Chains A and B, each alone.
Chain A
Amino acid sequence: EVLLLESGGGLVQPGGSLSLSCEASRFAFGTYALSWVRQAPGKGLQWVSAISDDGRNTYYADSVRGRFTISRDNSKNTLFLQMSSLGPEDTAVYYCARHSTAFHFDSWGQGTLVTVSS
């Protein structure tokens, strides 16, 4: 069974930065694209960012472009999300998700909570 384990969430002040990680196991990490998806408290799902299997192509939602950076280390089976200039609107549970070979999301991590507050 695919395993995705997010970490790095926590409390950060407005304007601050935070880095999330998603450690993967039980599949060929370097052959799958991955995304970050977030969910604000009591709200719906919002796609945040995606990265191709080789890391060469990255994509961002308009709301985070220029502030967030997605990356991956295929040698360590780990996905990253570097977040900066954080605001209260970035408060959410952040999930990493694997893109299937048919491009939908077939596996999700359990999520890590990011709280932006003074």
Chain B
Amino acid sequence: DIQMTQSPSTLSASVGDRVTITCRASESISSWLAWYQQKPGKAPNLLIYKASTLESGVPSRFSGSRSGTEFTLTISSLQPDDFATYYCQEYNSDFRTFGQGTKVEIK
């Protein structure tokens, strides 16, 4: 099975900071990777798919990139609404593995 290793598990940042979250796949998944944002008590919300395609309606401060089996979610200027937990997910396999999540906290 594909393993998705996401880091860091927690990130403390301030409004306006540039934030980077990384997800590494245990084998090639091409660009079949999505990023989701989840706020407490709510369902996840799609941010990015196919590694770097921004979902409609998602602010342009969110971006995604790929280098081999390493994927990055970047928030260019953190906003108050962005404090949440972020998950990567591969969809190359039938098992749709998620990363462990990164909680972005207020510094």
Contacts and interface: CB of A to CB of B under 8 A. Distances in A.
Nearest to A4: B43
Interface of B: 1, 32, 34, 36, 38, 42-46, 49-50, 55, 87, 89, 91, 94-101
B97 A106 contact: no
B55 A108 contact: no
A44 B5 CA distance: 13
Given A102-B49, A104-B34, A104-B50, A109 B98 contact: no
B61 to A, nearest CB: 20
B51 to A, nearest CB: 10
Interface string A44-55: 111100100000
B95 to A, nearest CB: 6
B50 A47 contact: no
Given A45-B44, A111-B43, A103 B98 contact: no
B44 A50 contact: no
Interface string A81-118: 00000000000000100001011111011110000000
CB-based closest 9 A-B pairs: A108-B43, A104-B34, A47-B96, A104-B49, A44-B101, A45-B98, A59-B94, A103-B91, A44-B100
A111 B43 CA distance: 7
Interface of A: 35, 37, 44-47, 50, 59, 61-62, 95, 100, 102-106, 108-111
A106 B91 CA distance: 12
Contacts of A111: 43
A9 to B, nearest CB: 14
Contact of A44 (B34, B43, B98): B98
Nearest to B92: A103
B87 A105 contact: no
Contacts of B38: 45
Contact of A103 (B1, B32, B55, B99): B32
A27 to B, nearest CB: 15
A47 B43 contact: no
Nearest to A107: B46
A47 B32 CA distance: 16
